[in-house]
Amino acid sequence: MLYLIGLGLSYKSDITVRGLEAIKKCNRVYLEHYTSILMAATQEELEEFYGKSIVLADRELVESGCEDILRDADKEDVAFLVVGDPFGATTHTDLVLRAKKQGIPVDVIHNASIMNAVGSCGLQLYNFGQTVSMVFFTDSWRPDSWYDKIWENRKIGLHTLVLLDIKVKEQSLENMARGRLIYEPPRYMSISQCCEQLLEIEENRGTKAYTPDTPAVAISRLGSAQQAFKSGTIAELANYDSGEPLHSLVILGRQCHELELEYLMEFADDKQKLRQDVIKDQEYFKPAPWVPTEEDDN
């Protein structure tokens, strides 16, 4: 059996009882280690808590060497641990498909993830549209495919969850070209860097999917004892010190309910300014009034 087990957001004890029971009977345990991190637990603490050794699974192992993970999983129990929920990343779907093609039984044990815990900021989950990922820009690579998804969400009034990039066990271009297995220190995108990149692409595109005055809410260390929220415009949050990782950002849609706004105001430096910013933003994508045509008259 291959078990895909969600670990939750932060603590070693966030795992479900069923997930813990499954780990304890597994012969091998892998921890996916590139889409997110467990903020309040080290590998050693997890191993002590589970009573099992853990193999850290980087992107290369999961995407290219997954046969090692699936080896003998038709004869013994293997656990693949994922911070958050197992299906928070598409690579995990691929792992399940590969297992099924090999006739390996799969059991998925779910847990909390940023995709549902984001509701802690006060925005209602059914008012969210497409989720996008913001990667670190480089001098030669500044992707903006996510921009159109934000524009689509905003046009129909929905909020956009922006997941911020993390870099774990990444090589520099020079080391990669020279074949040197030297890895860069881990990097985690901050709220300010995300907002700066948002503003840069909007300036380049110029179609106003959002503006510097568009309201947003910064989410930091969600699920931990140090979780924090900050409401403001994208321009204001570009100067916000969000502290230690991990971080996410939500760009508001124009259909911001009064209860949502009331909740967000608790995280604003200037509550009345936030209210006015939201009202102004709601007008921007407001549908044009219906005007009857000759066809309607007929």
The pLDDT of residue 175 = 58
The pLDDT of residue 49 = 97
Chain-centre distance for alpha carbon 9: 11
Residue ranges, comma separated, of all CATH 3.40.1010.10 domains in the chain are 2-112
- Judge whether 68 is annotated as a binding position: no
The pLDDT of residue 44 = 96
- Judge whether 88 is annotated as a binding position: yes
> Domain 2-112: which topology?
Cobalt-precorrin-4 Transmethylase; domain 1 (3.40.1010)
- From residue 4, alpha-carbon distances to 70, 78, 80, 192 in Å are 12, 9, 5, 34
3-state secondary structure 98-153: HHHHCCCCEEEECCCCHHHHHHHHCCCHHHECCCEEECCCCCCCCCCCHHHHHHHH
CATH class of this structure's domain 115-283: alpha beta
- Judge whether 159 is annotated as a binding position: no
* Rounded Cα gap, residues 29 and 53, in angstroms: 7
Pairing label, strands 228-233, 215-220: antiparallel
- Judge whether 234 is annotated as a binding position: no
Q: Helices 17-24 and 43-50 sit at what angle, rounded to 10 degrees?
A: 80
- Judge whether 269 is annotated as a binding position: no
The pLDDT of residue 111 = 97
- Judge whether 85 is annotated as a binding position: yes
Question: Are residues 9 and 84 in contact, defined by beta-carbon separation less than 8 angstroms?
Answer: yes
- Judge whether 9 is annotated as a binding position: yes
The pLDDT of residue 252 = 97
Q: CB under 8 Å to 138, separation ≥6 — which residues?
A: none
Per-residue pLDDT reduced to its tens digit, 192-234 = 999 999 999 999 999 999 999 999 999 999 999 999 999 999 9
The pLDDT of residue 1 = 95
- Judge whether 164 is annotated as a binding position: yes
Residue ranges, comma separated, of all CATH 3.30.950.10 domains in the chain are 115-283
Task: Write out the DSSP string of 209-232.
Answer: SS-TT-EEEEEESTTSTT-EEEEE
Q: What parts of the chain have a pLDDT lower than 70?
A: 169-184, 285-291, 294-298
Q: CB under 8 Å to 66, separation ≥6 — which residues?
A: 94, 95, 98
The pLDDT of residue 109 = 98
